[in-house]
Amino acid sequence: MAQKIRKAVFPVGGLGTRFLPATKALPKEMLPVVDKPLIQYAVEEAAAAGIEEFVFVTGRGKQAIEDHFDISYELDQTLGARGRVDLVDTLRSWMPDPGQITYTRQMDPLGLGHAVWCARKYIDDEPFAVLLADDLVLADKPCLQQLIESYHTKPGNIVAAMDVLPEHTDRYGILDIEEDKGQLVSVKGLVEKPLRRNAPSNLAIIGRYILMPEVFEHLSKKNTGAGGEIQLTDALAKMVNSTPFYGLRFDGRRFDCGDKVGFLEANLAFALDRDDMKKAVERLVKSYT
């Protein structure tokens, strides 16, 4: 039986340049979609999928993330004194237990592959998940849960995948497909941000992965790739001949919250998905059309 996925890595060390000046003092992962920071959505998704240990790879200026996953005594006390116990609950109910979160610093934002490599001591020798908080997925069944279920039927590396427009392949890691079974795809290669004419398919990786610990051996070589960064995709490409590798076309809608338009769209979609906001937001949208 495949080993249980107990640990997840949250790379939150990036600079978030596309959101400057908002991200000058505020980590990109703390940007709120409706009323919840991106990183909280990712942690809740992981917890719902059974993750027990949460490893954050942070960097300079990311303290707000640590504070968010901590008790705020002043706020608790003030709200308690005002009789707002309901709000105290919204501050605490989703928090992992003390000791379940570990923080390590990337120190230099050398790329996603490097960020994942920084978590190696905490993952050790077991398969693990990676979640990128700026990829937000609206789904009935959490995207990571879908990946984990798939991993238990077909153990190996598995990434969440979605078909993108051919002219957008240069924004993503792209899968070279061996066999396409509709939802599950076996993979024979990966290329980071290929131009349309060089792309092996238009099936793109989005920010949810289940990875075998052997990935750390490849990441430790610290080879740079697209954009001069240490790319996770390049390390994964080295594993396709030695480890079963799959892409899963997940059920759900993904929003690229690292991009301004994607972030706005996520706010709209998540607000429209809420009973307390749906009607007002529908009226609002209508007034702009």
* Interface residues toward ligand UTP, by CB under 6 A: 11-18, 28, 57, 106, 109-112, 114-115, 132-134, 258
3-class SS at 149?
helix
Q: How far is the CB of 132 from ligand UTP (least distance, A)?
A: 5
Nearer to ligand UTP, 79 or 207 (CB): 207
Instruction: Using alpha carbons, select from 14, 22, 72, 33 the residue that is nearest to residue 273.
Output: 33
Cross-strand partners of 58: 105
Q: Which residue is nearest to ligand UTP (CB)?
A: 14
Q: How far is the CB of 42 from ligand UTP (least distance, A)?
A: 9
Nearer to ligand UTP, 33 or 112 (CB): 112
Q: How far apart are CA 140 and CA 121, in angstroms?
A: 34
Instruction: Using alpha carbons, select from 214, 277, 222, 26 the residue that is nearest to residue 106.
Output: 222
Q: How far is the CB of 43 from ligand UTP (least distance, A)?
A: 13
**For the chain, how far is it from start to end, CA to CA, in angstroms?**
54
Place of tokens 């050790």: 124
Nearer to ligand UTP, 92 or 168 (CB): 168
Q: How far apart are CA 202 and CA 163, in angstroms?
A: 6
Q: How far apart are CA 2 and CA 25, in angstroms?
A: 42
Nearer to ligand UTP, 214 or 259 (CB): 259
Tokens of 236: 């994964």
Q: How far is the CB of 129 from ligand UTP (least distance, A)?
A: 14
Nearer to ligand UTP, 112 or 281 (CB): 112
Q: How far is the CB of 35 from ligand UTP (least distance, A)?
A: 20
Q: How far is the CB of 175 from ligand UTP (least distance, A)?
A: 18
Nearer to ligand UTP, 9 or 148 (CB): 9
Q: What is the DSSP letter of 2?
A: P
